[in-house]
Amino acid sequence: MKKSVLFICADQWGWDFFGFMGPKNAHTPNIDKLVPQYCFLQTLHGIVPCGPARTTMLTGLYPFIHRSVCNGTPLDNRFTNLPLEAPSLDINPPSMATRYFV
């Protein structure tokens, strides 16, 4: 059976953006269905800006190791990351997307 991974990173979203957290005006039925089966972090505080925080999640390395400590800093090519390693684990990452809402 093909392995599946769904990784959702919601940067700067409040608790009231998700229906499963209780607000009446948030309509997220598909995410709401996933919560009882899986885990989610209810509270998480990053110590670096969003770009380096994502680099940490995708590499598994601390910022002082990967040295991406400012937004816009490219990852040194000697380090690998989850999207690059996924095919070797028989996981196909079909989409890595970022959306910004103003």
Same domain, 36 and 2: yes
Range of the domain at 35: 1-44
23 found inside a domain: yes
97 occurs within a structural domain: no
Secondary structure of the chain in HEC code, one letter for each residue: CCCCCCCCCCCCCCHHHCHHHCCCCCCCHHHHHHCCCCCCCCCCCCCCCHHHHHHHHHHCCCHHHHCCCCCCCCCCCCCCCHHHHHHHHCCCCCCCCCCCCC
Tell whether 1 and 31 lie within a shared domain.
Answer: yes
36 and 65 both lie in a single domain = no
**Same-domain check for residues 2 and 40:** yes
Last residue of a domain, one of 10, 25, 44: 44
Within-domain flag for 53: yes
Q: Tens place of pLDDT for every residue, the chain, 102 residues?
A: 666 677 777 667 777 888 988 888 999 999 899 888 887 777 777 777 788 888 888 899 998 899 988 888 888 999 998 888 888 877 776 665 555 443
Give the pLDDT confidence score for residue 61 in this predicted structure: 93
Q: Do 5 and 40 fall within a single domain? A: yes
| pLDDT score of 83 | 80
Residues marked active site are found at 50
